[in-house]
Structure 1
Amino acid sequence: MGLKTIIENARASNATALDLNEQGLKHLPAELLEVESLTRLNLAHNRLTDVSENIVRLKNLEMLTVFGNKLGELPKTINGIRTLKFLTASHNFIYELPQGFGSCPSLVFLDMSCNQLKELSPNFGFLTTLRSLHLSDNHLETLPAEIGKLTQLATLVLCNNDLTSLPDEIGNLQSLKYCLLQGNKLKSLPKSFATIPLESEGSVLKLYKNPWYPFLADILEDNNVQAFLDVMRSDSYQDKVKEAEAKKSKK
């Protein structure tokens, strides 16, 4: 069955799901954007270099999958899909998120891992419905303070970036249960981070492959996350960080 026939059948039957995985697509067919009944659209493993701004016509879309393409950006109109809850755009070449992206009102899952992101706009903090955020394998050096507004986040994946620090506001993420920070350039974490109950049952915190200050690195030799957090909660933690910073600057 040809691609055109698949799309025509989907439109005729008011289909809610359409799987166009590995169809060799370089552009979105115009006919596809007429299937307004779609709630789920899978465009993974194609050769897309862009996604038409007219995708906003899919006004009932809840799940969009575009991973494994050749995208350099997402359409500016994507925030106009008011129903969008799940967006998977990993394994592309996306270097920035579109202006106004923070106004996606229903987004709960966002996967932008394995892209070319270097920074996040402060507007990112408006994505207050997010519960799962995947940003691994990018080139992020910092996070905006507004990340602390994502108070519903349960999953935060930041491994294999270039992060040298996290903002104090990270401590506002009190719903966090799964946090991956390994493979960055972190020497310490803000004291506020230790207020997140990440040592509770069922929680996951990974910290290895960072150039931690020696007093933290020694603790993590045994992968003792509880002891790591206990040190951060101590009254002497900030003094130890300052002392380590001073030693580092003298070398």
Structure 2
Amino acid sequence: QPSGIRKALTEAAQAGATGLALVDRDIDDLLRCPLLLTERSLFQSLTRLTLSHNRVSVLPKEIAKLENLQHLNLFNNRLTLVCPEIGQLKKLYQLNLGMNRLATLPREFGQLQQLELLDLSYNNLHEGGLPAEFFSLVALRALYLGDNDFERLPAAFQNFRNLLVLSVRDNDLVELPPELGHCSGIRELHIQGNRLLLLPPEFAQLQLGSPDTVLRMGDNPWVEHIADQLALGVSHVMHYLATDAYRVQYSQLMSGSSLKYPPKASKAKKISRKTS
């Protein structure tokens, strides 16, 4: 590993540090960081670990040695694999895996029952890459899934009843599940930059559109009636979703064959978003 890491780790260990930041250190293998994940790690009391802007491609099973971790930040690495042992970090409540190359998550993700904030933006995730156990993360309050490859969200998203913030912007979404309307605590929702034409009427249950909430829904090919309401403001959209007229229109459009979705964003466009 680059010079200076051993010195930084040694000094932190001697000081009994509970927080450690190794940002932009050209690290490509955590097992080669002295003292960190060794058999008798000197960092078992560590609660915060920041490894953003490195070149780590695999989160190794030895990460479980840091059993007291509460914050783990691996933003902007090269992760293609998260080990099942991540589920042993029982105290983790903030996890940032954004800007990586993840297409799937292990089933053991569901064991992170204290997790409140999860950032998975700028990856290669899709609905098939989320195991059923993922939806047992019922403590989640903020979930960031922007800039991935989702076309649809599973109905199991309704399990996230404690969500305050949900971002699924800049995916390939063509529809959102009606069950998401059960997450009535959401105060900030980002669905912009997808292929959405309609919203399920159940979305009217979400208390969005007031000055103390955030709803971003631009850059979608909405049907004319939603587009007209959006031009007046998101509060007008929310009121419209609750009308009988919209329920009838939604039912007719969903049962017919007149909906024409635009093509997916090109991979080149997605890559440019992730690197810009």
What is the TM-score of this pair, normalised by structure 1?
0.94
Q: 1:144 aligns with which of 120, 131, 154?
A: 154
Verify the 8 A CA contact 1:179 1:206 in the aligned structure 2: yes
Distance of 1:4 and 1:210 partners within structure 2: 49
Match of 1:64 among 52, 69, 72: 72
Distance change >3 Å, CA 84–CA 91, structure 1 → 2: same
Matches within 5 A, 1:1-251: 2-28=4-30, 29=33, 31-33=35-37, 34=41, 35-119=43-127, 120-222=130-232, 224-245=233-254, 246=256, 248=258
CA contact (8 A) 1:124 1:146 kept: no
> Aligned with 1:217: secondary structure?
helix
Unmatched tracts of structure 2, length 5 or more = 261-276
Give the CA deviation at 1:73.
Answer: 2.1
Closer/same/farther in 2, CA of residues 18 and 216 from structure 1, 3 Å limit: same
Aligned mates of 1:169, 1:124 — CA distance in 2: 16
User: Tell me, what secondary structure is at the counterpart of 1:136?
Assistant: coil
Return closer, same or farther for 1:47/1:195 CA change in 2, 3 Å cut-off. same
One-letter amino acid of the structure 2 residue matched with residue 11 of structure 1: A
Counterpart contact for 2:107–2:132, Cα < 8 Å: no
The amino acid of 1:98's aligned partner reads P
Shift of 1:121: 2.8
CA distance in 2, matches of 1:47, 1:187: 39
Deviation track 1:152-186 (CA, whole Å, cap 9, x = no partner) reads 11000110001111112101111111100001111
* Range moving further from structure 2, 197-206 or 107-116: 197-206
The answer on whether the counterparts of 1:121 and 1:144 sit within 8 Å (CA) in structure 2 is no
Structure 2 residue matching 1:54: 3-state secondary structure: helix
| d(CA) in 2 for partners of 1:3, 1:100 | 30
Q: How many equivalent pairs are there?
A: 249
Write the letter of the residue equivalent to 2:159: K
1:124 Cα deviation after fit = 1.9
- Which amino acid in the other structure matches residue 32 of structure 1? L
Structure 1 runs of 4+ aligned residues shifted over 6 Å read: none
1:15-65 per-position Cα deviation (integer Å, ceiling 9, x unaligned): 100010011101002521211111000100011111111101100000000
* Root mean square deviation, CA, Å: 1.6
Partner Cα distance (1:96, 1:139) in 2: 11
Preserved CA contact (<8 Å) 1:122 1:144: no
Evaluate the alpha carbon distance shift between residue 48 and residue 182 of structure 1 in structure 2; reply closer, same or farther with a 3 A threshold: same
How far does the alpha carbon of each residue in 1:52-90 deviate from its partner, in whole angstroms, 9 at most, with x for none?
111011000000000111111222111110000100111
- Distance in 2 of aligned mates of 1:212 and 1:133: 24
1:13 to partner: Cα distance: 2.4
Residue type at the aligned position of 2:131: S
Q: In 2, Cα distance between the equivalents of 1:60 and 1:105? A: 14
Instruction: Name the CA distance, whole Å, in 1 between partners of 2:162 and 2:48.
Output: 24
* Superimposed CA distance per residue, residues 194-235 of structure 1 (whole angstroms, 9 cap, x where no aligned partner): 11111233100011111112211222233x111111111011
In structure 2, C-alpha distance between the alignment counterparts of 1:249 and 1:175, rounded to whole Å: 30
